[in-house]
Structure 1
Amino acid sequence: MQVSETEFGLIRIFSVDEPESGSALFDHDLNSEDCLNLVQSALGATHLDPDYGELFAVADLEEVGLRGYMVQGLGIAEADVTQDALRLDALSGTVLVVLSKAFGGHAQELSPKSPLRWVGTYREEKAPVHYEPLPSSGSAGVVEEVPHPHQPNPHLNVLWAVLALPILLIFVGIIGFLLFK
């Protein structure tokens, strides 16, 4: 079973074959280091984030059932679940659910071994994209470009002052020379 580094939206379901003695192989808490190590080893995974996996007894789902949980809780298309109804309804005992995010973008090859038995891989159903017109007519029409008023450049004012000052001094010098001659 290949997991790519860009895998997204896949949900893998495994059945846990418990021993006939009735003692649980896993403590159903993937956040416990012992349980996580056992599950990771049984999956053959090199990386597994416990926040994106679940280990639980099918009986705990009560009236919702495994198929209902897959549709309502995991977002799998009902048609996909109905297609595998006989196989899913036959499951009892403990189930392991692993989401794509559990692999944290690490490409790896899974090789599940006892006590895990692969049940199926399902895809999360994506909500269809639906575009609706905006509710207000105030947003209708074309936005016109508004001209910006011309603002004087302060650097040009300095340049004019630098150029005008010598001309003014020459003009005042000529007038002074003519008056006091």
Structure 2
Amino acid sequence: MQVTDSERGLVRLFALDLPSEEITAFREPVYDTDGDITDWPLQRALGFTYLDEDFIEIFPISDLEDLGLTGYMVQGLGIAEADVKEDAARLSSQKGWILVVLSSAFEGAAQTLSPQPPLRWIGTYKEEGAPVSFEALPDASAKGSAPTQGSVLPTPQGNPHLTLLLALFTLPLAALLFGLFLWWIL
């Protein structure tokens, strides 16, 4: 599975074929004294080079209760209902633990995923984007026309070099006066 550096809005779903008592050891990275990851079974099984833990979820499907996996994907992950409907039978037959990996987990790092057991790829789904509509602005002040290509806005006249020279003399003088004022008050 290819992850591009510009990937956005994809959700990868994996079944996690492990007994419940082994999930914590699989999910949690092992750190050395310097805070570097020395071992992470999830990393080995997914075959990634970089993954932000804040954008992955591992949970038992039974936690979804009446919502179910398809409902969670539509309501919780923002997948289009039509996309989930195509795989509804396969999704509803899933049991046990599930791994959800969002595109944000890769933080723009292009890489190749090569999932291995205990992971079993279920599918990759696209988050449904907000509908775009182009409506007229409600306020009367928003009406009018933009300048045409030939029109030029007026610019202040003067020599930019003189303006810079004036600023170079004025700013230190203003700072000196401000400092004297503070010294006089204290």
- Fold-level similarity (TM above 0.5): yes
User: Relative to 1, partners in 2 of residues 1:141 and 1:112: Cα closer, same or farther, differing over 3 Å?
Assistant: same
Match of 1:73 among 76, 96, 99: 76
Amino acid at match of 1:123: K
Secondary structure of 1:63's counterpart equals: coil
**Cα contact 2:45–2:118 (8 A) shared by 1:** yes
Give per-residue Cα distances to partners, 1:66-124, cap 9 Å, x unaligned. 11110111111000000000110000110000011111221111111111000000011
For 1:82 and 1:26, locate their aligned partners in 2 and report how far apart those are by CA, in whole Å.
29
Deviation of the 1:28 alpha carbon: 8.6
Where does structure 2 lack aligned partners over 5 or more consecutive residues? 31-38, 163-186
Aligned Cα RMSD in Å?
2.8
Match of 1:33 among 10, 29, 33: 29
TM-score with structure 1 length normalisation?
0.72
For 1:128 and 1:118, locate their aligned partners in 2 and report how far apart those are by CA, in whole Å.
29
Superposition pairs of residues 127-166 of structure 1, within 5 angstroms: 127-142=130-145
Q: Which residue of 2 aligns with 1:3?
A: 3
Amino acid at match of 1:5: D
TM-score with structure 2 length normalisation?
0.70
Identity of aligned residues (%): 52
For 1:67 and 1:132, locate their aligned partners in 2 and report how far apart those are by CA, in whole Å.
34
Choose 1 or 2 for highest CA Rg.
1
Amino acid at match of 1:110: L
For 1:73 and 1:105, locate their aligned partners in 2 and report how far apart those are by CA, in whole Å.
23
User: Relative to 1, partners in 2 of residues 1:38 and 1:136: Cα closer, same or farther, differing over 3 Å?
Assistant: same
Q: Which residue of 1 aligns with 2:125?
A: 122
Q: Which residue of 2 aligns with 1:107?
A: 110
Deviation of the 1:39 alpha carbon: 1.1
For 2:128 and 2:108, locate their aligned partners in 1 and report how far apart those are by CA, in whole Å.
20
1:16 aligns with 2:16: yes
For 2:73 and 2:66, locate their aligned partners in 1 and report how far apart those are by CA, in whole Å.
13
How many residues matched? 149
